Structure 1
């Protein structure tokens, strides 16, 4: 059985290193190599990696919500590879495990009950992904006991800085941004310039995120025909 972790891809070295680190930690837990591929910006692509694998393969999309890359790009790569036995799991989010990571990151950056919180995602125009992001916002609201505002670093409205400003106009004393990003990079830089009182670090290599990926590999069931 081969294992393949597929991420978006970035020109930022920190983002590429993060995916490699996640793969290494998952491999240590499963005692099996984890290959890495990217659907955009850089290679290798999923189809290129799959063409080098001859045995049954499980593919985990390292995405925080469903969207075009998960629903269209990855199946297209599987089909193009000609690989006869690929199992594609669900994306990483939405999930309670990711919400636990968000809460830990909030606590680390100094969030305390009563602070207003903005959940900051990269952004998307995909309706499925938007639904997933709203669900994550709802789950986080339930855990911290207060309404969380959803905002975006790139595609979508409101932008994070606008959401922070709006909360201040409503009388919020402290505003904290919860980063719903995997790694440091341009989008995380935008969060830190949003005017919030505190900004949580990206999800990174949090142990709960590693466990989530491990569980995706272990529980894979539904094959996607190439």
Structure 2
């Protein structure tokens, strides 16, 4: 089985390098190469990647929520490439508890302190299910940190991250930390740094917990080389 990791796509070169780092981490766990494609913004597209990959293919969406790209766009691209019969799309990461170590480590690296108000900042989606996944992850993080963790959004949904940071300050928080519920650097990550928080964690990126969670979605029957 061939493995194809599909990410959203970004014009930031650092974001593209992060996706490749993630793919390498997945490959190390599976013991086989992992190809990369993008659902939007940059190439190779899903169709371009599938043109050179032998089947069957396990397509792994590197997405933190099961929004439009995961539910509609990626399956449509697979179908348009004529590969619906031999491509299996695995679940997105969603509110996987296995990702908590990555969130906590990124906050610690950024300098979060005990007593800081923490907000989980996600990309944003018009899809209610995708937003619910972010809220579920915030509840997991809140239980671990022993305090409420509200959710805010870099785009599309409300409240915006800057508005939530301001609300927490009005509520008496002396310091506000943003936990980045993002996979890679890019436009949304840049917006978090402009939101006025004292601490902004880096995206989860190539953290071992993320690579392990992605690899766990691939069926056990692997071993075909990436062409």
Residues 121 and 130 of structure 1, relative CA distance in 2, 3 Å threshold = same
- For 1:223, the equivalent position in structure 2 comes to none
1:59 and 2:66 are equivalent in the alignment: no
User: Is residue 109–residue 201 contact of structure 1 (8 Å, CA) maintained in 2?
Assistant: yes
- For 1:46, the equivalent position in structure 2 comes to 46
User: Is residue 11–residue 186 contact of structure 2 (8 Å, CA) maintained in 1?
Assistant: no
**Which segments of structure 1 move beyond 3 Å, counting only runs of 4 or more?**
none
CA deviation digits over 1:46-100, x for unaligned, max 9? 1222232232110100000010000001111221122221111100121012222
- For 2:150, the equivalent position in structure 1 comes to 149
- For 2:78, the equivalent position in structure 1 comes to 78
Aligned-pair distance for 1:209?
A: 0.8
CA deviation digits over 1:170-217, x for unaligned, max 9? 111211110111122222222112111111111011111111111111
User: Is residue 51–residue 82 contact of structure 1 (8 Å, CA) maintained in 2?
Assistant: no
SS at match of 2:210: helix
| Runs of 5+ unmatched residues, structure 1 | 221-226
Query: Which deviates the most, 185-194 or 66-75?
Result: 185-194
TM-score normalised by structure 2 residue count: 0.92
| Runs of 5+ unmatched residues, structure 2 | 222-227
Aligned-pair distance for 1:13?
A: 0.8
- For 1:189, the equivalent position in structure 2 comes to 190
**Aligned Cα RMSD in Å?**
1.4
SS at match of 1:147: coil
- For 1:224, the equivalent position in structure 2 comes to none
1:213 and 2:214 are equivalent in the alignment: yes
The structure showing larger relative contact order (alpha-carbon pairs under 8 Å, at least 6 residues apart) is: 2
Please list, as runs of the form range in 1=range in 2, the aligned pairs for 1:109-120 lying within 5 A after superposition. 109-120=110-121
